[in-house]
């Protein structure tokens, strides 16, 4: 008989969804068994049972180590293949993409490498990358260029200097002329005086007068030349005085700029040295720092996560090992069906700690679910678990149904002898419905129950509810050993209880029952202590989780709730325990809820940019015309004081004309930017939707103040170099 590929693909997908381990080899074994059953003529139910049996035999053949190692060493069965949570979390162990297990599939190499580091480091939930400024502070602003001295333009003193030059020339000629005359007079003085003496005393007096007048005229000419030279020098000094004052001021500013430049160069050198020290410290210092809340929160809400639960698995490894290091116990209720705690079990086992991993399925298990539950608390516990919550907000009040269930179960518990099992409880409810009891009850028990029948309401509504209670108890009876099995809660350092990945009424009933049993265990202060993690708690509802949180707080048990979609009543309860880890989200509404929880802040953003472009052009001109006429003359003056006839005449005429034309053009470009203070998300929803699988945002409200930190739960970070042992200062 030939089975087409489509049937094989559908069976493979079916077993990939319902099997906990996600091991491709286990999925293929179950698929082969199911197809073989169909080939023998069996129906779909028989094929499904054959596949589950084959998967169970495969798990038993691998042993406990193989079950734990399946988390790391096999890729999860999916249409696209891919790696498991631990592989994505940085585990160095091999990942197999084929359907057949490799010889090293059971080798726990990556847990053995992670365990020494994870159990040696201080308490942490993940790692925070070192700030960029500490890792690479190499950019330092360069100093301005050195100021250069530019000589101010000197005023034009050409005319004044030409005047001084003429004065100097005139003084030189007069001095030279005076020297020549004085030298000649000195040479021929005696000869001249002898000749003058021959003309008599009158000639001597005239000679003396002429000498004195000539000396005076020569001295006067020299003095006038000196005065003209002094006047020219004074004019030059007065003309240059504003320039020299301005030049002195500019020189002072230049000297001040030089001093500022020297100071800027010194600051740049100091900043460069500091940058080099910071860069050297960043190059040799830690690149990852542990992240944890300032104080221990009473409850931790993990919101979001990738569809393969790699982020949840990584967070359980990093956080769980920190808890185990302190000697506390970690208990995980894995309601996802995706083995999110397999990595923690593997790492804990590699460190030599006792672990227990138990999968509950409708084929039964080695657990006695009701072991250790007080008889007086069992009726109320079962009433809450069996009835659950309304399927919709309009589901109605269930207090009447719960009261009837509690009354019936109280009568049943009082009428039965130990041990109490789900099968015996279902048979007792059947007796109250006037059935045979299925042979699981003794004659005395049936007699006592029969005496209770008359006290019960026999209406149709009550009869239907009795049938519902019997059916639900029968469903729970499939998941555990009737009696004498292992207790549900132990004192093992790591204990994992996993339920199937189905999303049906039986699955939700089992999950509610486990939550109720956890509440009773915490009330008794028994083996359930330390940390309780509930993975995949979305379908339990906010009310049930709040009650569980209250029990955990009273019992001193730290509760971790891993919720995929924080909507409806779950959104209202998020963060009430002090700490929240926000992970990758796919739905835009979930991301918006997470962004609202992180909060908003004020900041300035550019809200308007205006660009203005303008051109201008102007044209102008003027014309000027002028004319002038003039006449001048001179007359000779006679001794008698009368004016003589004119001796010279001059006549002049002039015309002036001027014209000017101006053109002017200009381009103006202006840009105006306006900023506005806004109140926006600190982290945008799109950034939350684009986060890596193992990254999370820690919102810590466990102490005074509020702290938001971006971290990564990848346990493989502990194998890297330069991982700090203490958190960043001030964080």
| Three-state SS sequence of 525-545 | CCCCCCEEEEECCHHHCHHHH
Q: Note if the pTM is more than 0.85.
A: no
**pLDDT average, residue stretch 47-63:** 76
Confidence of residue 451 (pLDDT cuts 50, 70, 90): confident
**pLDDT average, residue stretch 667-674:** 75
Could you give the CA distance from residue 242 to residue 722 in angstroms, rounded to a whole number?
68
Q: Dmax over Cα atoms in the chain, in whole Å?
A: 194
CA 419 to chain centre: 56
Q: Name the DSSP class of 513.
A: H
CA distances for 632 relative to 366, 641, 642, 653, 730, angstroms = 144, 21, 20, 12, 100
545, 547, 550, 555 alpha-carbon torsion, rounded to 10°: -100
User: In percent, how much of the chain has pLDDT > 70?
Assistant: 79
Residue 78, pLDDT > 70, answer: no
Residue 73, pLDDT > 90, answer: no
Q: In what order do the strands lie in the sheet with 330-334?
A: 288-291, 126-129, 707-712, 695-700, 578-582, 299-303, 558-563, 531-535, 330-334, 494-498, 355-359
Residue-wise burial string across 462-471, b where 16 or more C-beta atoms lie within 10 A, e elsewhere = beebbeebbe
Per-residue pLDDT reduced to its tens digit, 569-607: 677 777 777 789 999 999 988 888 888 888 887 767 777
pLDDT, residue 16, reads 74
**pLDDT average, residue stretch 362-377:** 83
**pLDDT average, residue stretch 154-161:** 86
Residue 721, pLDDT > 80, answer: yes
Could you give the CA distance from residue 47 to residue 642 in angstroms, rounded to a whole number?
159
26 contacts 343 by C-beta, under 8 angstroms: no
Higher pLDDT, 2 or 529: 529
Per-residue pLDDT reduced to its tens digit, 5-50: 447 888 887 887 676 555 778 888 888 998 888 888 888 888 888 8
Minimum mean pLDDT among 72-81, 529-538, 577-586, 602-611: which range?
Answer: 72-81
CA distances for 527 relative to 354, 487, 494, angstroms = 14, 10, 12
Residue 532, pLDDT > 70, answer: yes
Q: φ and ψ at 491, to 5 degrees?
A: -95, 20
**pLDDT average, residue stretch 148-173:** 88
User: In percent, how much of the chain has pLDDT > 90?
Assistant: 19
Minimum mean pLDDT among 139-153, 356-370, 399-413: which range?
Answer: 139-153
Confidence of residue 514 (pLDDT cuts 50, 70, 90): very high
638 contacts 593 by C-beta, under 8 angstroms: no
714 contacts 314 by C-beta, under 8 angstroms: yes
Per-residue pLDDT reduced to its tens digit, 482-506: 666 788 888 899 999 998 877 778 8
Higher pLDDT, 91 or 695: 695
Higher pLDDT, 321 or 68: 321
- CA-wise closest residue to 315 among 137, 323, 264: 323
- CA-wise closest residue to 444 among 416, 412, 470, 478: 416
pLDDT, residue 356, reads 92
Higher pLDDT, 525 or 665: 525
Per-residue pLDDT reduced to its tens digit, 165-209: 999 999 999 899 889 988 888 888 888 888 888 888 888 888 888
Higher pLDDT, 66 or 199: 199
Could you give the CA distance from residue 371 to residue 487 in angstroms, rounded to a whole number?
6
- CA-wise closest residue to 421 among 499, 356, 367: 367
Q: What is the DSSP string of 630-687?
A: EEEEEEEEPTTS-EEEEEEEEEEEEEEEEEEEEEEEEEEEEEEEEEEEEEEESS-HHH
pLDDT, residue 349, reads 92
Confidence of residue 445 (pLDDT cuts 50, 70, 90): confident
**pLDDT average, residue stretch 721-728:** 84
Burial class (CB in 10 A: 0-12, 13-18, 19+), 460: exposed
Confidence of residue 421 (pLDDT cuts 50, 70, 90): confident
pLDDT, residue 92, reads 33
Could you give the CA distance from residue 632 to residue 351 in angstroms, rounded to a whole number?
128
424 contacts 480 by C-beta, under 8 angstroms: no
**pLDDT average, residue stretch 117-122:** 83
pLDDT, residue 106, reads 39
663 contacts 689 by C-beta, under 8 angstroms: no
Average pLDDT, the chain: 79
Minimum mean pLDDT among 132-136, 311-315, 536-540: which range?
Answer: 132-136
Confidence of residue 319 (pLDDT cuts 50, 70, 90): very high
The angle formed by the CA atoms of residues 616, 622 and 627, to the nearest 5 degrees, is 170
564 contacts 304 by C-beta, under 8 angstroms: yes
Confidence of residue 524 (pLDDT cuts 50, 70, 90): confident
Per-residue pLDDT reduced to its tens digit, 210-252: 889 988 888 998 899 899 999 989 988 888 888 888 889 988 9
Residue 685, pLDDT > 60, answer: yes
Could you give the CA distance from residue 33 to residue 10 in angstroms, rounded to a whole number?
14
418 contacts 466 by C-beta, under 8 angstroms: no
- Give the β-pairing of 330-334 and 531-535: parallel
Q: Write the Ramachandran bin of 70: left for phi over 0, alpha for psi from -120 to 50, otherwise beta.
A: alpha
pLDDT, residue 311, reads 93
pLDDT, residue 644, reads 52
314 contacts 91 by C-beta, under 8 angstroms: no
pLDDT, residue 562, reads 93
Residue 332, pLDDT > 90, answer: yes
Confidence of residue 657 (pLDDT cuts 50, 70, 90): low
* Top mean-pLDDT range of 391-395, 425-429, 625-629, 640-644: 425-429
pLDDT, residue 165, reads 92
The angle formed by the CA atoms of residues 42, 45 and 50, to the nearest 5 degrees, is 75
- Name the β-bridge partners of 137: none
428 contacts 412 by C-beta, under 8 angstroms: yes
CA 522 to chain centre: 38
Residue 273, pLDDT > 90, answer: no
Confidence of residue 89 (pLDDT cuts 50, 70, 90): very low
pLDDT, residue 652, reads 65
């Amino acid at each position: 008989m030939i089975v087409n590929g489509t049937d094989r693909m559908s069976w493979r997908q079916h077993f990939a969804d319902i099997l906990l381990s996600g091991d491709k080899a286990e999925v293929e074994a179950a698929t082969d068994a199911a197809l073989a059953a169909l080939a023998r003529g069996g129906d779909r139910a028989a094929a499904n049972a054959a596949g589950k049996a084959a998967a169970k035999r495969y798990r038993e053949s691998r042993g406990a180590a193989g079950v734990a190692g399946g988390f790391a060493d096999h890729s999860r069965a999916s249409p696209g293949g891919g790696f498991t949570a631990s592989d994505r979390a940085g585990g160095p162990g091999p990942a197999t993409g084929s359907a057949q297990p490799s010889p090293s599939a059971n080798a726990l190499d990556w847990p053995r490498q992670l365990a020494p580091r994870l159990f040696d480091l201080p308490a942490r939930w993940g790692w925070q990358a070192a700030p960029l400024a500490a890792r690479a502070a190499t950019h330092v602003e360069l100093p301005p260029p050195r100021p250069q001295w530019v000589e101010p333009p000197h005023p034009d003193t050409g005319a004044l200097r030409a005047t001084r030059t003429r004065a100097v020339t005139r003084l030189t000629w007069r001095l030279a002329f005076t020297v020549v005359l004085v030298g000649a007079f000195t040479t021929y003085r005696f000869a001249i005086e002898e000749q003058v003496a021959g003309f008599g005393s009158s000639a001597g007096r005239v000679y003396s007068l002429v000498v004195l007048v000539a000396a005076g005229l020569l001295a006067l000419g020299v003095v006038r030349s000196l005065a003209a030279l002094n006047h020219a020098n004074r004019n030059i000094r007065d003309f240059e005085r504003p320039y020299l004052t301005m030049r002195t001021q500019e020189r002072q500013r230049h000297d001040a700029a030089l001093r500022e430049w020297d100071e800027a160069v010194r600051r740049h050198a100091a900043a460069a040295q500091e940058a080099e020290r910071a860069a050297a410290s960043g190059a040799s210092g830690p690149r990852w720092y542990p992240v944890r809340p300032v104080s221990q929160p009473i409850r931790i809400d993990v919101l979001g996560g990738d569809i393969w639960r790699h982020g949840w698995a990584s967070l359980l490894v990093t956080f769980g090992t920190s808890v185990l290091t302190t000697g506390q116990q970690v208990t995980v209720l894995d309601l996802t069906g995706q083995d999110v705690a397999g990595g923690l079990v593997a790492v804990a086992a590699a460190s030599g700690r006792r672990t227990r991993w138990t999968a509950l399925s409708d084929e039964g298990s080695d657990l006695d679910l009701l072991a250790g539950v007080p008889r007086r608390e069992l009726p109320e516990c079962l009433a809450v678990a069996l009835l659950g919550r309304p399927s919709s907000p309009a589901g109605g009040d269930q207090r009447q149904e719960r009261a009837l269930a509690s009354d019936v179960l109280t009568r049943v518990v009082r009428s039965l002898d130990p041990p109490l099992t789900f099968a015996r409880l279902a048979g007792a409810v059947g007796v109250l419905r006037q059935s045979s009891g299925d042979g699981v009850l003794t004659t005395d028990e049936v007699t006592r129950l029969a005496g209770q029948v008359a006290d019960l309401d026999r209406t149709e509504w009550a009869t239907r509810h009795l049938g519902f209670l019997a059916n639900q108890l029968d469903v729970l009876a499939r998941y555990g050993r009737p009696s004498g099995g292992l207790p549900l809660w132990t004192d093992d350092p790591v204990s994992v209880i996993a339920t199937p990945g189905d999303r049906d009424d039986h699955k939700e009933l089992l999950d509610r029952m486990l939550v109720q049993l956890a509440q009773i265990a915490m009330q008794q202060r028994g083996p359930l202590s330390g940390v309780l993690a509930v993975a995949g708690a979305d379908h339990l509802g906010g009310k049930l989780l709040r009650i569980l949180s209250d029990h955990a707080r009273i019992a001193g048990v730290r509760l971790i709730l891993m919720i995929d979609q924080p909507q409806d009543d779950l959104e209202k309860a998020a963060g009430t325990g002090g700490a929240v880890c926000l992970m990758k989200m796919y739905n835009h509404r979930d991301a918006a809820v997470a962004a609202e929880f992180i909060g908003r802040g004020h900041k300035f953003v550019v809200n308007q940019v205006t660009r203005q472009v303008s051109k201008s052009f102007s044209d102008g001109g003027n014309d000027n015309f002028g004319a002038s006429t003039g006449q001048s003359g001179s007359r000779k003056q006679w001794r008698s004081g009368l004016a003589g006839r004119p001796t010279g005449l001059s006549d002049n005429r002039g015309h002036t004309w001027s014209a000017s034309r101006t053109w002017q053009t200009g381009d103006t470009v202006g840009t105006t930017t306006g900023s506005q203070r806004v109140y926006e998300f600190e982290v945008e929803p799109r950034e939350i939707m684009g986060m890596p699988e193992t990254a999370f945002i820690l919102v810590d409200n466990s102490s005074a103040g509020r702290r938001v930190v971006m971290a990564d739960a990848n346990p493989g970070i502990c194998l890297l170099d330069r991982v700090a042992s203490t958190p960043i200062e001030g964080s």
